[in-house]
Amino acid sequence: MRAYTVKGILERKLKILELDDIWLQIFGEPERSGKLWLIYGEEKQGKTWFAMLLAHYLSQKEAVLYISAEEGLGKTFQDVITRANFDLTNRKFKAHAYVPMADLEAAMAKRYAPKIVFFDNVTVYLEELKNGGLQRLVRNNPDKLFIFLAHEDRGEPYTATAKMIKRLADRIIRVQGLLATVGGRTKGGQYMIDQEKAMIIHGSDIAE
């Protein structure tokens, strides 16, 4: 076991995601390595749309893998890519339908594996994340950022595993009516996924 002095702690070189514009305002300066984020909300509120906007933005910084385990890569996924206005020349963003966790971990061990991985969503990977599976995933991939999507039930992430991810998450995003509210270990803020529709739904409740 290695313990650090104060000087040693402050001199550690950390991998920080260099964000800008609204992303910097709401997410601050997050660490990339060995971290969990959670995006959750009820059905049809804009979770996947927001996740794809975030994935598109982050893929300009790092290689991103989006696991569309629930919806696959069919028409619905094509539609959300179109809504997120992806750059068709972007080669740092890759997507895949469901991949067994063992196969995914083997792929992530390769030299040029993506550094940011989205899991859409927790429910599909529930059995593989239980019984220490989540902790093993993070421990075996200390250079990765894992971003999980989860359904919502009674104002909280659905399933005990999703609730555990929320407790461990560095950044927490709740999506309601096309409005993403960011919290966790940051000042936080709000992101309007679709400004016109979000204003209709929330009106003056949206923070300036």
Q: What is the pLDDT of residue 199?
A: 62
Residue 18 resides in a domain: no
Q: Is 100 exposed, middle or buried (0-12, 13-18, 19+ CB in 10 A)?
A: exposed
**Neighbouring-strand partners of residue 38:** 148, 172
The DSSP string of 74-110 is SHHHHHHHHHTT--TT--SEEEES---HHHHHHHHTS
Residues 72-115 pLDDT 10s: 999 999 999 999 999 999 999 999 999 999 999 999 999 899 99
How many helices (H) and strands (E) the chain has is answered by 9, 9
Give me the CATH number covering residue 95.
3.40.50.300
Is residue 14 included in any domain, yes or no?
no
Does 16 reside within a domain? no
Contacts of 91 (CB under 8 A, 6+ apart): none
Contact 37/71 with Cβ under 8 angstroms?
A: no
Q: Is residue 185 part of a domain?
A: yes
For the chain, the domain total comes to 1
> Strand, helix or coil at 36?
strand
Query: Under DSSP, is residue 14 helix (H, G, I), strand (E, B) or coil?
Result: coil
In a domain, 9, yes or no: no
Is residue 22 domain-resident?
no
- Predicted pLDDT at 7: 81
Would you state the pLDDT for residue 4? 85
Could you list the pLDDT tens digit for every one of the 208 residues in the chain? 778 888 877 778 888 999 999 999 999 999 999 999 999 999 999 999 999 999 999 999 999 999 999 999 999 999 999 999 999 999 999 999 999 999 999 999 998 999 999 999 999 999 999 999 999 999 999 999 999 999 999 999 999 999 999 999 999 999 999 999 999 999 999 999 986 666 677 765 665 4
Q: Which of 164, 162, 152, 93 is nearest to 124 (CA)?
A: 162
State the residue range of the domain holding 187. Answer: 31-205
Q: Is residue 199 part of a domain?
A: yes
Q: Quick check: is 56 in a domain?
A: yes
